Amino acid sequence: MGELANCSNCNAVFVKHVRDVCQKCYQVEEEAFEIVYRFLMKRKNREATIIEIVEKTGVKEELIIKFVKENRLRTAQFPNLAYPCERCSVPIHTGRICNDCFKQLTRDLNQEKEIEEQISKRKQVEREQENVYYTIKTEDQHRK
């Protein structure tokens, strides 16, 4: 059973199953996909960039990028369908971020994990030191 959601295009309320858009917007997207796909299937257009496709078809760039990200338009068939990395805007063909950004984020996460482990170790040492009890021998105890 689906849940109620707002369409990401028109903000209309609809029952969300698989798509993030309502039926009306889905139909518009499908028509746009057909336009783009027919354009790219012509041999002379197979190496078109996203910008060129936008100019020739009138389909919005965001929608074409969505088709690429959903693998409806495959970069293996259309090699110039690159879209910007969400972090640094370098052109990429798959995923949301480029390899360099992925590596940097991985390093940052590993560094953060190390810092958290060091803090945890320090806290553990502090707790152990807090639980140490010292006894003081009084003069009476020394005489016995």
Instruction: Give pLDDT, residue 87.
Output: 94
Which two structure tokens, joined as six digits, stand for 86?
Answer: 């969400």
Specify the pLDDT at position 63: 94
pTM (2 d.p.): 0.68
CA distance 70 to 48: 19
Mean pLDDT per block of 10 residues along the chain (144 residues) reads 85 86 93 96 92 95 91 86 91 91 95 94 83 67 58
What is the separation of C-alpha 70 from the centre of its chain, rounded to a whole number of angstroms?
Answer: 13
**What is the rounded CA–CA span in Å between residue 81 and residue 93?**
7
**Residue 43: exposure state from Cβ atoms within 10 A (0-12, 13-18, ≥19):** exposed
